Structure 1
Amino acid sequence: MDDIISRLSEIEDSSQSYIDDANLKKKEIAAEMNVTKELWKQDLDAKTKSRIAALQESMNVAKEKKILELKHQSEKAFKDLQDMYDTNHDKYVDALFSEMIKE
């Protein structure tokens, strides 16, 4: 009987050793996962920041291009108005003067 109790005690000690080893391995795996997760997070943050910077740069280039385009359009519109004024100035003055005299 003592033999059986001794054997059961050995089995229990052995199983407890396996449980302790498993818990230790579990902690090691959890630590590795945390390290991996942190590295992944840092990589994702870096990629996100890089992508945001690229998008901002792209938007700035597009904005500058649009501003330049609008500037050219407004300069052309001003030039067209100036040309029209220079060409028709006398007609406008005569028409305005005639309109003022009628009253």
Structure 2
Amino acid sequence: MDKVIEKISDIESAATSIMDRANERKTAFAKDMERRTAAFDHDLETKTSKKIEALRRDMEIEMNHQLEKQRNDWLKLQTALEAHYEEHHHQYVENLFQTMIKE
């Protein structure tokens, strides 16, 4: 009977030891996962920031190109309007004068 009790005690001791090691492994695993998660979050944040900055630079370059194109288009239009005015301003004055006289 003492041998049975001794065997049960040994089994209980082994089970406790196994449970303690499992808890230690579980704690180590949790710490490792926490470390990996933090590293992943940091890496993701860094990559996201770099992509956002690249997009911002690209958009600024595109905006500057569009502004330059609009500026050039405006200058062409302004030049064309001034040329048209210089060519036809006497006719505009004459038409306006005739309109004012008729009334």
TM over 0.5: yes
Paired position in structure 2 for 1:45: 45
Partner AA of 1:56 in structure 2: R
Deviation at 1:98, TM superposition (A): 1.1
Partner Cα distance (1:21, 1:99) in 2: 105
The amino acid that maps onto 1:2 is D
CA RMSD of aligned residues (A): 0.7
* TM alignment of 1:8-27, pairs within 5 A: 8-27=8-27
**2-structure distance, mates of 1:100, 1:25:** 101
Between the aligned partners of 1:3 and 1:102, the Cα distance in structure 2 is 135
- Structure 1: which amino acid aligns with 2:74? S
Q: 3-state DSSP class of the match of 2:44?
A: helix
Query: Mind listing any 5+ residue stretches in structure 1 that lack a counterpart?
Result: none
- Amino acid across the alignment from 1:83: A
State the AA in 1 paired with 2:54: A
1:48 Cα shift?
A: 0.3
- TM-score, length of structure 2 as denominator length: 0.97
What stretches of structure 1 move > 4 A for 4+ residues in a row? none
Residue type at the aligned position of 2:61: V
Using structure 1 for the length normalisation, give the TM-score: 0.97
Gaps in structure 2 of 5+ consecutive residues: none
Letter in 2 for 1:59: M
- Aligned residue pairs total 103
